[in-house]
Amino acid sequence: MSVSQDDRISLSYAETFQNHDKPHRIFSQFRAEEPVAWCPEPWGGPGYWSITKYDDIQEISKLPKVFSSDQLHGGITLPSPEMIAHRQNITTEQAENPSELSDFQGGRSMITMDPPVHNEHRRMVAPGFTPNTLDSLIPNIRGRVEVLLESLEGQSECEFVSSVAAELPIQMLAELFAVPQEVRHKLFEWSNLIIGGDDPDITLSRDELMAAFMELAGFAMQLYTERQQNPGEDLISMLVNTKVNGEPMNMADYLSAFVLLVVAGNETTRNSISGGVLALSQHPAEKQKLLDDPSLIPAAVDEIVRWVHPVIYMRRTAVEDYELRGLKIKKGDKLALWYMSGNRDEEKWPDSFTFNVSRDGPRHLSFGYGQHLCIGWRLAEMQLRVVLEELLTRYPDIRATGEVRRIKTNFLNSIKQMPVALA
């Protein structure tokens, strides 16, 4: 029996992803029966193709000239302006053009660009992510993790997301931006607001949201001027002072690049850290393997990122007709590359639903693939590795207890609260 219409439509609702059993059931059925599947959308959306097999996700990711990420074609998330308008109770026009922020919204960052312009924008910050640059950060990461974990001493339990998982990535972001550590709380708040659109605990009124965006833009613009006058080795200086075709980046693009780095480097790493501790709590025998043999931690990092899939999907839009598994994808069609599903493809890992910290096998898709492969993947892996090394040494009995609360979104696998016992 094929996947029901209700199940297909449910993939558009954030609620469906509050617990992953249902989407995994739907994706398993798609992979077995209909790997390229048309899914209707609610709220007047035109519908889209669900791509659920590992090989197909890779094939599409290697063809940015056919499958565009460009904002002009709709960008990297599924909801169309009509759908956003319906959900947020605003007009389609407002959803297309948030007026007060026209400058800010008018910008594009590398993640919503296609080659060749994508390559130029990516090159601007690439020096900040070379293996050498990142290796030199390891002592810094370890020092920060030590301080965070020392602050937990004497406690038998804590709320892990705010105490550890959220703290490290924003501290590292403040470091990469070379801004005072006190600013990190603002970075955290902004990042939550940007991705938390469907979550009642996070969503603000339209006016409040605008005010928060204006505050963010004001902060970023001030940094722009500062780093123009006093360039350093940090990511902001790279954005401000590198020229594209002899021209500096315009302000709208700069603001978008700033937001991208804040969100991309923050939420995802946080969720791989909290999701990793959750997975080890749910699989004590796997955790014991790491306690017995810490040299397995790098392999465990790979497995955690496969298992957790911090990014659930990315969208592409076909800009020419293309045939995939005998089906015609038409110019203009939307596609969802479900990384969450590709990472459980039984053809790649026969026991894909087993969490195994010592597994071999192909590289997971959590960092994407091809043209837009995550620029920060090494940094994220380093943070996760150091946290696990220090955490398992100091708190070998750490385990998640109580209710895990997720942010309401079908885009990111985002844990907002997770109580843990430390001893």
Interacting residues toward ligand HEM by CB under 6 A: 69, 76, 110-111, 122, 260-261, 264-265, 268-269, 272, 305, 310-311, 314, 366-368, 372, 374-376, 379-380
Strand partners, 39: 48
3-state secondary structure of 330: coil
DSSP state letter for 363: P
Q: For residue 104, give the H/E element and its range.
A: helix 102-106
State which residue, 165 or 261, has the beta carbon closest to ligand HEM.
261
3-state secondary structure of 423: coil
State which residue, 148 or 337, has the beta carbon closest to ligand HEM.
337
Q: Give the C-alpha separation, 110 to 76, whole Å.
A: 11
Pick the closest to residue 176 from 379, 325, 4, 374 (CA basis): 379
State which residue, 220 or 311, has the beta carbon closest to ligand HEM.
311
State which residue, 148 or 168, has the beta carbon closest to ligand HEM.
168
All residues at 6 or more sequence positions from 16 whose CB lies less than 8 Å from its CB, including other chains? 10, 22, 23, 410
3-state secondary structure of 327: strand
Can you list the alpha helix ranges (DSSP code H) found in 136-183? 138-150, 160, 167-177
What's the closest the beta carbon of residue 387 comes to ligand HEM, in angstroms?
12
Backbone angles phi, psi at 334, to 5 degrees: -90, 150
Angle between helices 377-394 and 167-177 (to 10 degrees): 140
State which residue, 191 or 268, has the beta carbon closest to ligand HEM.
268
What's the closest the beta carbon of residue 150 comes to ligand HEM, in angstroms?
24
State which residue, 197 or 276, has the beta carbon closest to ligand HEM.
276
Strand partners, 406: 415
What's the closest the beta carbon of residue 109 comes to ligand HEM, in angstroms?
7
What's the closest the beta carbon of residue 153 comes to ligand HEM, in angstroms?
27
What's the closest the beta carbon of residue 4 comes to ligand HEM, in angstroms?
29
What's the closest the beta carbon of residue 75 comes to ligand HEM, in angstroms?
9
State which residue, 3 or 174, has the beta carbon closest to ligand HEM.
174
For the chain, the first-to-last Cα distance in angstroms comes to 48
63: Cα separation from own chain's centroid: 21
What's the closest the beta carbon of residue 258 comes to ligand HEM, in angstroms?
11
What's the closest the beta carbon of residue 313 comes to ligand HEM, in angstroms?
9
Q: For residue 328, give the H/E element and its range.
A: strand 327-329
Q: Give the C-alpha separation, 410 to 32, whole Å.
A: 22
State which residue, 12 or 256, has the beta carbon closest to ligand HEM.
256
